[in-house]
Protein backbone atom coordinates (compact mmCIF):
# COMPACT_ATOMS: atom_id res chain seq x y z
CA UNK A 1 0.00 0.00 0.00
CA UNK A 2 2.93 2.32 0.59
CA UNK A 3 3.90 2.10 -3.08
CA UNK A 4 0.63 3.74 -4.16
CA UNK A 5 1.16 7.27 -5.34
CA UNK A 6 -0.18 9.94 -3.00
CA UNK A 7 -1.61 11.65 -6.09
CA UNK A 8 -3.91 8.70 -6.76
CA UNK A 9 -5.20 8.82 -3.20
CA UNK A 10 -5.84 12.56 -3.51
CA UNK A 11 -7.71 12.02 -6.78
CA UNK A 12 -9.85 9.39 -5.03
CA UNK A 13 -10.54 11.92 -2.27
CA UNK A 14 -11.57 14.55 -4.81
CA UNK A 15 -14.01 12.12 -6.43
CA UNK A 16 -15.38 11.21 -3.00
CA UNK A 17 -14.19 7.62 -3.27
CA UNK A 18 -14.31 6.20 0.26
CA UNK A 19 -14.65 2.89 2.09
CA UNK A 20 -14.96 -0.32 0.12
CA UNK A 21 -15.05 1.52 -3.18
CA UNK A 22 -11.69 3.15 -2.41
CA UNK A 23 -10.24 -0.17 -1.32
CA UNK A 24 -11.27 -2.04 -4.47
CA UNK A 25 -10.71 0.79 -6.98
CA UNK A 26 -7.51 2.38 -5.61
CA UNK A 27 -5.72 0.21 -3.06
CA UNK A 28 -6.12 -3.25 -4.62
CA UNK A 29 -5.01 -2.19 -8.14
CA UNK A 30 -2.17 -0.20 -6.59
CA UNK A 31 -0.94 -3.17 -4.57
CA UNK A 32 -1.41 -5.81 -7.29
CA UNK A 33 2.04 -5.38 -8.89
CA UNK A 34 3.74 -6.09 -5.56
CA UNK A 35 1.41 -9.01 -4.87
CA UNK A 36 2.05 -10.53 -8.31
CA UNK A 37 5.81 -10.16 -7.85
CA UNK A 38 5.61 -11.91 -4.48
CA UNK A 39 3.59 -14.78 -5.93
CA UNK A 40 6.04 -15.16 -8.83
CA UNK A 41 9.01 -15.36 -6.47
CA UNK A 42 7.24 -17.80 -4.15
CA UNK A 43 6.35 -19.99 -7.13
CA UNK A 44 10.06 -20.52 -7.81
CA UNK A 45 10.90 -21.12 -4.16
CA UNK A 46 7.97 -23.52 -3.88
CA UNK A 47 9.22 -25.62 -6.78
CA UNK A 48 12.70 -25.73 -5.26
CA UNK A 49 11.28 -26.71 -1.87
CA UNK A 50 9.11 -29.49 -3.30
CA UNK A 51 12.03 -31.00 -5.21
CA UNK A 52 14.31 -30.76 -2.17
CA UNK A 53 11.72 -32.37 0.12
CA UNK A 54 11.16 -35.14 -2.42
CA UNK A 55 14.91 -35.78 -2.42
CA UNK A 56 14.95 -36.28 1.33
CA UNK A 57 11.66 -37.79 2.36
CA UNK A 58 9.60 -39.07 -0.54
CA UNK A 59 9.54 -42.51 -2.10
CA UNK A 60 8.54 -41.15 -5.51
CA UNK A 61 8.62 -37.94 -7.50
CA UNK A 62 11.14 -36.00 -9.55
CA UNK A 63 13.30 -35.12 -6.57
CA UNK A 64 13.51 -38.74 -5.48
CA UNK A 65 14.23 -39.85 -9.05
CA UNK A 66 17.03 -37.27 -9.30
CA UNK A 67 18.50 -38.27 -5.93
CA UNK A 68 18.44 -41.99 -6.59
CA UNK A 69 20.10 -41.60 -9.99
CA UNK A 70 22.74 -39.30 -8.51
CA UNK A 71 23.56 -41.87 -5.83
CA UNK A 72 24.15 -44.65 -8.33
CA UNK A 73 25.80 -42.34 -10.90
CA UNK A 74 23.21 -42.92 -13.61
CA UNK A 75 24.06 -39.59 -15.24
CA UNK A 76 21.72 -39.69 -18.24
CA UNK A 77 18.65 -40.32 -16.08
CA UNK A 78 19.83 -37.65 -13.67
CA UNK A 79 19.99 -35.12 -16.50
CA UNK A 80 16.55 -36.19 -17.69
CA UNK A 81 15.20 -35.39 -14.21
CA UNK A 82 16.99 -32.02 -14.22
CA UNK A 83 15.58 -31.23 -17.66
CA UNK A 84 12.06 -32.13 -16.48
CA UNK A 85 12.45 -29.87 -13.45
CA UNK A 86 13.70 -27.04 -15.67
CA UNK A 87 10.77 -27.44 -18.08
CA UNK A 88 8.37 -27.51 -15.13
CA UNK A 89 9.87 -24.27 -13.82
CA UNK A 90 9.73 -22.66 -17.26
CA UNK A 91 6.09 -23.65 -17.78
CA UNK A 92 5.15 -22.36 -14.33
CA UNK A 93 6.90 -19.04 -14.96
CA UNK A 94 5.50 -18.52 -18.46
CA UNK A 95 2.02 -19.62 -17.37
CA UNK A 96 2.02 -17.31 -14.39
CA UNK A 97 3.28 -14.43 -16.55
CA UNK A 98 0.33 -14.94 -18.88
CA UNK A 99 -2.07 -14.87 -15.92
CA UNK A 100 -0.32 -11.78 -14.53
CA UNK A 101 -0.65 -10.02 -17.89
CA UNK A 102 -4.40 -10.67 -17.81
CA UNK A 103 -4.70 -9.40 -14.22
CA UNK A 104 -2.42 -6.40 -14.85
CA UNK A 105 -3.02 -5.30 -18.47
CA UNK A 106 -0.76 -2.27 -18.07
CA UNK A 107 2.14 -4.64 -17.28
CA UNK A 108 1.86 -6.26 -20.73
CA UNK A 109 1.81 -2.82 -22.36
CA UNK A 110 5.01 -1.82 -20.52
CA UNK A 111 6.81 -4.96 -21.67
CA UNK A 112 5.83 -4.50 -25.31
CA UNK A 113 6.96 -0.85 -25.25
CA UNK A 114 10.46 -1.65 -23.97
Note the pLDDT tens digit of each residue in 6-59. Answer: 888 888 888 888 888 888 888 888 888 888 989 999 999 999 999 999 999 888
**DSSP state string for the chain:** -TTS-HHHHHHHHHTT--HHHHIIIIIHHHHHHHHHHHHHHHHHHHHHHHHHHHHHH-SSSHHHHHHHHHHTT-HHHHHHHHHHHHHHHHHHHHHHHHHHHHH-HHHHHHHHH-
Give domain status of residue 1, yes or no.
no
Total count of domains within the chain: 1
Give domain status of residue 48, yes or no.
yes
**pLDDT for 87 beyond 70:** yes
Give domain status of residue 47, yes or no.
yes
Which range of residues forms the domain containing residue 88?
Answer: 6-113
pLDDT of residue 9: 82
Percentage of the residues of the chain whose pLDDT score is greater than 90: 50
Give domain status of residue 108, yes or no.
yes
Amino acid sequence: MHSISRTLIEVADNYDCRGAKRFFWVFVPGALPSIVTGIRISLGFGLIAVIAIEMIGASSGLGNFLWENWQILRVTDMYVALACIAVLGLLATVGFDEIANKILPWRAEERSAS
